[in-house]
Amino acid sequence: MASKTNPGNYFEDFTLGQEIIHATPRTVTDGDVALYIALFGSRFAFNSSSEFAASLGMPRAPLDDILAFHFVFGKTVPDISLNAIANLGYASGKFGAPVYPGDTITTTSTVIGLRENRDRHSGIVYVRSVGINQNRETVLDYVRWVMVRKNDPEAPEPDPLIPQLPDAVDVGDLEVPYVLQLHNYNTDLAGSPYLWEDYEVGEKIDHVDGITIEEAEHQMATRLYQNTARVHFDALMHKHSRFGRRLIYGGHLISLARALSFNGLANAFRVAAINGGRHVAPTFAGDTVYAWSEVLDKMEMPGRRDLGALRLRTVATRDAPATNFPFRDDAGKYDRTVVLDFDYTVLMPKRP
C-alpha cells in the first residue's frame, strides 16, 4: 500500500515549467498581526494604527508587507523547500493589493529554472510564486531560489537553466494602493520628520538597535507562517549536520531588519518591491542582530506628486553593531558579521 504521507519534493522531482497549486489557503486575522508585532516589535504607524491608515484613505491598517510575504512564502514550503539545505535568494518581487485581516491568501508557483550542483547530491530550484487574495487580486509576485537535496544522487541531471532576472523592479511597475491620499500624513505620529526629500543617494544609516534571536520566538514565528521546513524545526535531524543545530528561517532576519530600520526610516511606510536578496550566512538562536541601510536610488513615482520611492539596501549583521557599516571588501567578500543583504524599494511621502 502506498504511503499516505508527504516526504516533500527532492531536486529530481522538479521539472521546468511545472506548476504547483499550494495547499492550505490562509485567512489572516487580527491575532496574526498582534503576534507579529509581539515577535518583531515593528512600529510603522501605517500598519499599527487603523486611524492613521484611515487618515490616508485606507479602509484600515493593512498588514506589514513583510508579514504578507511570509504568508505567501509559507504556503510554498511543503512543495518547494521541505527538503531544502538553504534558501538562497530573492528577486523580481512586486507587492500588489494590500492585505487586511479577513483576507484569504492562496499561493501558486511555477518552476522557472534548475541547476544541479557538482557533487550531484543537491541542486538549485528557481520558482516564481504568486499570492492572491479572495478577490483574485495579486498580493505578491516574486522569484526565489533554493538549494534542495536529491533523494537519489544517480538521478539524471536536468538540462541546466538559470533564469535571467532584472537587477531591480522598474519604478513604473510599482503599485500604489489606489485609495492612498497622503496630504494628511502626520510625521509626529509616524515617528520621524524625515521625508523623501531628506534622503540622498549613497547615504548610510545605522539603525542602532539590536535584537537577540530567541529559540522559542523563532519557532513560534516560523509556525505562524505554516513554514514546515525541517531545517528550522527538527533538532535531532540536524544534530549531525554541518552546523549541528537548527537554522533560523531567513525570512526571520528580513523581519528583524525591517523592524530595526524604523529607527532612521520610519516614514518608509510601504515595501513596494523586493529587488534582490541574499542570505549571506546562517543565524542561530542566541545571535544578536543589528542592521544598517544604504540609499541606492531615489525615484519619482509616475503620476504622483505626493510620494516618491527609495531603493534601499539593508544589511543585517550578527553579534556586531553596524556602526561602521560592515559589508564587502574590495574583492567582493562579505564581512564575517554580515548575514543578510536585502535590496528592496519602499514608498515614502514627499513634503506637501
Q: What is the pLDDT of residue 79?
A: 93
Lowest mean pLDDT of 43-57, 130-144, 166-180, 224-238, name the range.
224-238
The DSSP bridge pattern shows strands 204-206 and 211-212 to be unpaired
pLDDT band at 165 (very low <50, low <70, confident <90, very high): very high
Q: What is the pLDDT of residue 57?
A: 94
pLDDT band at 74 (very low <50, low <70, confident <90, very high): very high
CB atoms within 10 A of CB 220: 13
| pLDDT of 9 strictly over 80 | yes
Residue 297, in any domain of the structure: yes
Residue 37, in any domain of the structure: yes
Summarize the confidence of residues 88-100 as an average pLDDT: 94
More confident residue, 244 or 113: 113
| pLDDT of 55 strictly over 80 | yes
Strands (E) located in the chain: 19-21, 26-27, 84-95, 104-116, 122-132, 138-149, 204-206, 211-212, 270-279, 288-300, 307-318, 338-349
Bridge partner residues of 148 (DSSP): 84, 123
Residue 218, in any domain of the structure: yes
Q: What is the pLDDT of residue 247?
A: 84
Residue 158, in any domain of the structure: no
Residue 4, in any domain of the structure: no
Residue 165, in any domain of the structure: no
What does the block give as the cell for 315? 544589511
Q: What is the pLDDT of residue 274?
A: 97
Summarize the confidence of residues 25-48 as an average pLDDT: 96
CA-derived radius of gyration, the chain: 20
Question: If DSSP codes are grouped into helix, strand and coil, which group holds residue 334?
Answer: strand
| pTM to 2 decimal places | 0.93
Summarize the confidence of residues 243-267 as an average pLDDT: 92
pLDDT in tens, 282-336: 999 999 999 999 999 999 999 899 999 999 999 999 999 999 999 999 999 999 9
Report the number of distinct structural domains present in the chain.
1
Q: What is the pLDDT of residue 302?
A: 92
pLDDT in tens, 207-236: 999 999 999 999 999 999 998 877 787 778
Residue 47, in any domain of the structure: yes
Lowest mean pLDDT of 111-115, 118-122, 142-146, 283-287, name the range.
118-122
* Residue 48 phi, psi (nearest 5): -95, -25
Summarize the confidence of residues 34-59 as an average pLDDT: 96
pLDDT averaged over every residue in the chain: 93
More confident residue, 337 or 84: 337
pLDDT band at 114 (very low <50, low <70, confident <90, very high): very high
Percentage of the chain exceeding pLDDT 70: 100
Summarize the confidence of residues 114-141 as an average pLDDT: 95
| pLDDT of 188 strictly over 80 | yes
Q: What CATH number does the domain containing 315 carry?
A: 3.10.129.10
Query: Range of 102's domain?
Result: 11-153+179-349
Residue 162, in any domain of the structure: no
List helix spans (H) across the chain: 30-40, 45-48, 50-54, 65-80, 187-190, 215-224, 230-233, 250-260, 262-265
Question: If DSSP codes are grouped into helix, strand and coil, which group holds residue 300?
Answer: strand
Q: What is the pLDDT of residue 91?
A: 94
